Amino acid sequence: MIKNMPLSAMIGLFFVCLYFAMAIFAPWLAPYGMAEVVGDVWEPSSAAHWLGTDNIGRDLLTRMIYGGQTTIYIATAATILSFTMGSVLGFLAAVLGGWADQLLSRSVDLVMSIPSLILALVILSVMPVTVPILIVVMGVLDSTRVFRLARAVAVDINAMEFVEAATLRGEGRGWVIFREILPNALSPLVAEMGLRFIFAVLFISTLSFLGLGVQPPLADWGGIVKENKDGIVYGIGAALYPAVAIATLAISVNLVADWILNRTTSLKGGRG
C-alpha cells in the first residue's frame, strides 16, 4: 500500500504528520511561553525570534505552534463528532427507511438550507463562546454533510445481495450497520473526513478571526490574524503566517484524501 503511493500523497502525508506532531508536542517545541511577552511590538525576525514578535511583543513562532495546537485540536474534535453523528444517523436512515428516513433527511435539508456560517453566528449570539461549545456547534452543523454522504453510500450498499443474505440469515440492524455497511462505506467516508477536517480548520479560523471563536489569550491561527491585522497597513506581514500554515495543511490533507478516494473507484460519494 505504501509502496504504490504517489509522490504527491507522500508529501501530503508527511506534512500532515508534521503538523499533528507539532500540535501534540507544542509545549516542548515552542521556544517561549504561550502568552509570555518577550520583546518589543512587531520585531522583525531575528535569531532569538525566528518569525519576529506579535502586536504586544509575544514570540510569533511560539504563538503559531500553540495556535496550531488549538486549531487542530478543535478541528479534530469537531470532525470526530460530526463523523460519528453524521454517519450513524445516515446509516440508520438508510437501513430504517420509511418515515424515520424522511424525518432525518428533511431536517438535514432544513439545516443545510441556511449557510453554516450564518447559522453558527446566530447560535453563537446567544451561547457563551467557549471551546466545548464551539466544537459542538461546528460538529453538529457539519454532521449534516456527513449524513448526506453516509446515507447515499449506505442506500447503495443496503441494496446489495450480501446485505439481503445477512438479513435473511436473521442478523439484526446493528450487525447490518456495523458488520455489512460500515466496512464497505469506510473508504469514501475516510476521504470525506479529510475534506471535512479542512473545512473545520477554515471554519474555526474564520470564527476566531471574527472574534467569535477561540478567545484570547489562547492562541489559534484565526486569532493570530485578528491580533496582527493592524500591522498590514504598515507593511508588517505578521498576520500572513497563518495563511501559509493553513494553506499547507489544507493542501496536504487534500492530497492524501484524493489518493484515498482514487484508490476506491466504486462508491464515490458526493464531495462538497
Partner 1 sequence: MGPALRLVVQRIALGLLLLFLVSILIFWGTLILPGDVAQAILGQSATPEALANLRDELGVNDPPLTRYFEWLGGVLTGDLGTALTNGKDIAESIGSRLENTLFLAFWAAVIAVPLAILLGLLAVRYRDRWPDKLISGVTLSTISIPEFLIGYVLMYFVGVKLGWAPTVSMIHDGMNLGQKLHSIALPVAVLTLVVLAHMMRMTRAAILNVMQSPYIETADLKGLTKFNIIWKHAFPNSISPVVNVVMLNLAYLVVGVVVVEVVFTYPGMGQYLVDHVSKRDLPVVQACGLIFAAVYITLNMIADVVSILSNPKLRHPK
Q: Using CB under 8 A, list all residues that contact partner 1.
A: 109-111, 113-115, 117-119, 121-128, 198, 202, 205-206, 209-212, 222, 225, 229, 232-235, 237, 239-240, 242-243, 246-247, 250-251, 254
Cα–Cα distance measured from residue 51 to residue 43, given in angstroms and rounded to the nearest whole number:
9
Question: What kind and span of H or E run contains 185?
Answer: helix 182-209
Q: Nearer Cβ to partner 1, position 115 or 183?
A: 115
Q: Nearer Cβ to partner 1, position 27 or 211?
A: 211
Q: Nearer Cβ to partner 1, position 113 or 265?
A: 113
Cα–Cα distance measured from residue 206 to residue 222, given in angstroms and rounded to the nearest whole number:
6
**Grid coordinates representing 257?**
484524501
Cα–Cα distance measured from residue 115 to residue 125, given in angstroms and rounded to the nearest whole number:
16
In the complex, least distance from residue 201 CB atom to partner 1, rounded to whole angstroms: 8
Q: Is the preceding peptide bond at 217 cis, omega within 30 degrees of 0?
A: yes
Residue 58: strand pairing partners: 37
In the complex, least distance from residue 193 CB atom to partner 1, rounded to whole angstroms: 16
In the complex, least distance from residue 122 CB atom to partner 1, rounded to whole angstroms: 4
In the complex, least distance from residue 142 CB atom to partner 1, rounded to whole angstroms: 15
Q: Nearer Cβ to partner 1, position 84 or 130?
A: 130
CB of 163 closer than 8 Å to CB of 171: no
Q: Nearer Cβ to partner 1, position 8 or 76?
A: 8
